[in-house]
Structure 1
Amino acid sequence: MTRGRFITFEGVDGSGKSSQVKRLAETLRARGTTVIETREPGGTLGAEQIRDLLVAGASERWSPETEILLFTAARRDHVEKVIQPALEAGHTVISDRFADSTRVYQGVGRAELRQTVDEFHQMAIAMEPDLTLILDMDPEKALRRGLARDSGEDRFENFGLEFHRRLRTGFMALSREFPNRCTVIPADDGEEEVARRVLEAVDGA
């Protein structure tokens, strides 16, 4: 059986990833593709419990080093129980975030810990997406949108604008580091236009 395709969405909080995950999944399903939608941190019962620890509460609740450990633990469970089995079954997996978020948020945004992130990733995960779509939006606009959701999962939004500017810089650097799998999608325009660009990138990859 042919291995399935693993597609991830990345970008700063409030850039519209969750909406685009759903739109792309609907489009691919309409074409007859079996699609698994998932997210990080999360995707399994255990990983969702870890998510609750990471995305809520005070900004300084965890050190960057502790965050790396928590994200890696959640990701390992996610890969074991959802992502790898679906890919082996020939399905398409679309995830709202994966390891690139840890590379940027903890490896650049919060501290200079990229080497630590990569070491844990290689040891515990050792896989990359086939295609990563980075939704690029003005950090100030994205932050306003993220805070306006009032979801209760705003721990990282509360780090403020300068933090989100560092994140954007980190994601752009990542797109240059991994040009064969990363595609930057301008996301300041309307949802329909962003969805068109996303599908164009998916079909062209």
Structure 2
Amino acid sequence: MDSHATPRSRSTGMTTDRRHATVTTDLGDLLAVAEGDALAGLYFPRHWHPPKVEDIGAEVPSAGDPVFEATRRELGEYVRRERTTFTVPTVTHGDAFSERVWDLLVTIPYGETTTYGAIARELGNVGLAQRVGQAVGRNPVSVLIPCHRVVGADGSLTGYAGGLDRKARLLEIEEPPEVAESRLF
């Protein structure tokens, strides 16, 4: 794993110390789920694969919660282009294949993209591209585990559980200044 990537851990089962809050960011209001001292979920409104109500724990205020405050702060710095990596620890509970895919997502450098096929090749079988796409789409921690950096084989923006407009915005945030300045619109 990239040493600059979000610190990640896995767990075989969800714990009872889960809690959730709405975190207001420059990207909009996000549903954040924490487990202990780690972020376990970050979801945009109308997310394709929202968590089950029974899996998000009690609602708590985001203010005063160290995980939610750090998430809000780091996302703000990211949107202002002051941060290229995240330090908020994350925890996920996927199957072995999904965990392997999510581990690869955190190694995609800021400002770069890869394809579903390239990830499948890295996993040893280009025929797994569709399955990679499914795992990418079910990434529980949007932005911090950067699934927005995965594009179609032709470079097109393809499915994003938070919406293609948000994917485009996240990629725009990561554009080098000279690329952003060269765009007319």
Shared fold, TM over 0.5: no
Higher RCO (CA-CA < 8 Å; seq separation 6+): 1
Q: What TM-score, normalized to structure 1?
A: 0.27
Q: What TM-score, normalized to structure 2?
A: 0.29
| Greater share of residues in helix | 1
| Greater share of residues in strand | 2
